[in-house]
């Protein structure tokens, strides 16, 4: 197994990540592992894991399917998280001495999917606070911005805003427990924002801050769009369970202490560290 990602980011990538909150790193993950993720997507669609969102039964055309927290049980996801190099890529982009895995997130959009990923920040959905928390979103299929790739409001990680999380499909859910400022309607005023997007090929990574505003369209492409995103906790991350955050890891499941660095090797294992 190669560990591309640990060496991949150049100075320019690291600088772009700091300034923009997002950077595109082509060819970050070995193609053999990408093929394994595509097979995993087939398996998950047929037999979903415990934490799934799925629009298959919605009236809207297509299917937006996501499955998260697979690393503990699925050997492909485990290898992807800990041996592909993405943990080191995250650490280097953030300038952190180590990274711990928060969770993995498989994202599938079938061709013709009209359900979008609405504009949002990740951090308010998660039980953590800190500047050094990011995602490494790895494309497992080609996609263009027009079809289905990700877009970002460049620099919005520095806005010092913490917008209320919202249920992506508008249905009631755990996000309803959060009461806070609503995210502006970016889509209705696209020219008012500095929006940047990336066309991607299989194995490309997009590394982005958990504070940056991002979203994506449905899938207007001809093929299935698959990505595997891993979420990484850097040096200043602290455990911050709060109303309206993702219930997949609660206080009952972790030894992490509110307001402190989450040194829980069982729930949030180290993916990369400068200390051997
Ligand atoms: O893949 C997508 O469309 C959405 C990804 C996303 O929002 C994320 O990884 O945080």
Q: Where are the domains of the chain?
A: 4-264
Which residues does a 6 A CB cutoff place in the pocket of ligand 1?
Answer: 105, 107, 117, 122, 135, 137, 150, 214, 216, 227, 229
Provide the β-strand partners of residue 232: 101, 134
pLDDT of residue 168: 73
Write the class of the CATH domain 4-264: mainly beta
Instruction: For the chain, count helices (H), then strands (E).
Output: 5, 14
Give CA–CA dist 262/56, Å, rounded: 36
Which atom, in ligand 1's list, is nearest to the CA of 109? 3
pLDDT of residue 1: 40
Give CA–CA dist 215/149, Å, rounded: 9
Pocket test for ligand 1, best of 66, 135, 145 (most atoms within 8 A of CB): 135
Which residue, chain included where needed, has tokens 């055309």? 61
Q: How far is CA 131 from CA 22, 123, 160, 272, in A?
A: 13, 10, 10, 18
Q: Average pLDDT by consecutive 10-residue portion of the chain (276 residues)?
A: 58 97 97 97 96 91 95 97 97 97 98 94 96 98 97 98 83 77 95 98 98 97 97 98 92 98 98 87
Give the angle subtended at the CA of 105 by the CAs of 274 and 4, to the nearest 5°.
40
Helical pair 75-83 and 86-94, crossing angle rounded to 10 deg: 40
Which atom, in ligand 1's list, is nearest to the CA of 148? 3
Pocket test for ligand 1, best of 136, 156, 219, 227 (most atoms within 8 A of CB): 227
pLDDT of residue 2: 40
Give CA–CA dist 222/146, Å, rounded: 12
Give CA–CA dist 192/172, Å, rounded: 30
């Amino acid at each position: 197994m190669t560990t591309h990602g640990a060496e991949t980011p150049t100075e320019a990538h690291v600088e772009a990540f700091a300034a923009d909150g997002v950077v595109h790193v082509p060819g970050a993950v070995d193609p053999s592992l990408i093929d394994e993720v595509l097979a995993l997507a087939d398996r998950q669609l047929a037999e979903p894991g415990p934490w799934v969102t799925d629009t298959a039964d919605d009236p809207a055309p297509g299917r937006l399917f996501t499955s998260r927290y697979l690393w503990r049980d699925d050997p492909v996801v485990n290898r992807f998280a800990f041996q592909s190099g993405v943990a080191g890529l995250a650490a280097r982009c953030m300038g952190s001495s180590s990274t711990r895995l928060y969770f993995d997130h498989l994202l599938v959009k079938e061709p013709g999917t009209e359900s979008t990923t609405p504009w949002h920040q990740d951090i308010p959905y998660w039980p953590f606070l800190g500047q050094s928390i990011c995602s490494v979103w790895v494309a497992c299929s080609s996609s263009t911005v027009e079809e289905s790739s990700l877009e970002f409001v460049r620099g919005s990680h520095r806005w010092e805003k913490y917008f209320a999380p919202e249920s992506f499909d508008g249905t009631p859910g755990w996000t309803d427990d959060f009461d806070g400022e609503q995210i502006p309607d970016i889509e209705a005023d696209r020219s008012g924002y500095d929006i940047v997007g990336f066309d991607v090929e299989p194995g490309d990574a997009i590394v982005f801050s958990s504070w940056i505003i991002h979203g994506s369209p449905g899938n207007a492409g001809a093929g299935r769009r698959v990505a595997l995103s891993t979420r990484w906790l850097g040096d200043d991350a602290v455990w911050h369970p709060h109303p309206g955050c993702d219930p997949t890891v609660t206080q009952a499941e972790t030894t992490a202490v509110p307001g402190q660095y989450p040194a829980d090797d069982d729930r949030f294992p180290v993916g990369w560290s400068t200390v051997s």
